[in-house]
Structure 1
């Protein structure tokens, strides 16, 4: 009879370990990786950049080189002004310095488009929007 109890006692830790593994399997045990490289650049930054500039028509979108170029875009409320964006993803890691946004702005003066300055705050705001969106995508990869 003592042998039966010893055998049962030996099985308890195995049963608990198996039950614990099954219970914790659904919980994320680590963050989604910051480096996603199924394409040539960080896929979170890529998706966030595409989402952010989707208001304008795309001229080029090279996921291996990490370059997105939009065509000229004019807001319906300001038809005498247009912008063109270039987003460059420079690294495979999700980092602030892995992203560069360049904007070109033109205004219509007497029927001709003339280059106009772009506020540095505007470019910084676009970079912040893309980075925030990329971080949100990374977080949702953990939750999903």
Structure 2
């Protein structure tokens, strides 16, 4: 990841790198009592993934949020420490269950060259780390709601 990437995300991504994440249990591995906690009743997608995504991307301006379709799209975010680079993120929640494969992150990156924004590559690790951050936050939210 370029060092010019958004400072809040860079800090959060650094934390993720130091964590050892365990995979989400599959549907067959969950006890039946756990199904109610993972299902969503008021929105169309998993509420833990939805909340975790909004929390993780809270520093970026949002362009679109569709809780029934499970799509969150940010506007371009320019890190004040790196004004020649900007990022845009789209997160799609694909399932009502809290599972590792229930979320997909896509990112766009542009750099300024001669006053024009030009598409630049995004490292695959960047989107994977964002997915990991969201999943970790969703698991934490679920744990605290079940324990409380």
Q: TM-score, normalised by structure 2?
A: 0.75
Higher relative contact order (CA 8 A, sep 6+): 2
Deviation at 1:37, TM superposition (A): 3.3
Q: Quick one: distance in 1 between partners of 2:48 and 2:112?
A: 36
Larger Rg: 1 or 2? Answer: 1
Pairwise mapping of residues 100-139 of structure 1 onto structure 2 (< 5 A)?
Answer: 100-139=104-143
The alignment of Structure 1 onto Structure 2 pairs a total of residues equal to 115
Q: TM-score, normalised by structure 1?
A: 0.77
Deviation at 1:94, TM superposition (A): 0.4
> Unaligned 5+ residue runs, structure 2?
1-32
Structure 2 equivalent of residue 94 of structure 1: 98
- In the TM superposition, what whole-angstrom CA distance separates every residue of 1:49-100 from its partner, at most 9, and x where no partner exists? 0101111100001100100000000111100000000000000000011000
Q: Quick one: distance in 2 between partners of 1:36 and 1:143?
A: 18
- In the TM superposition, what whole-angstrom CA distance separates every residue of 1:90-128 from its partner, at most 9, and x where no partner exists? 000000110000000000000000000000001000000
Following TM superposition, the consecutive aligned residue runs of length 4 or more in structure 1 with deviations greater than 3 angstroms are none
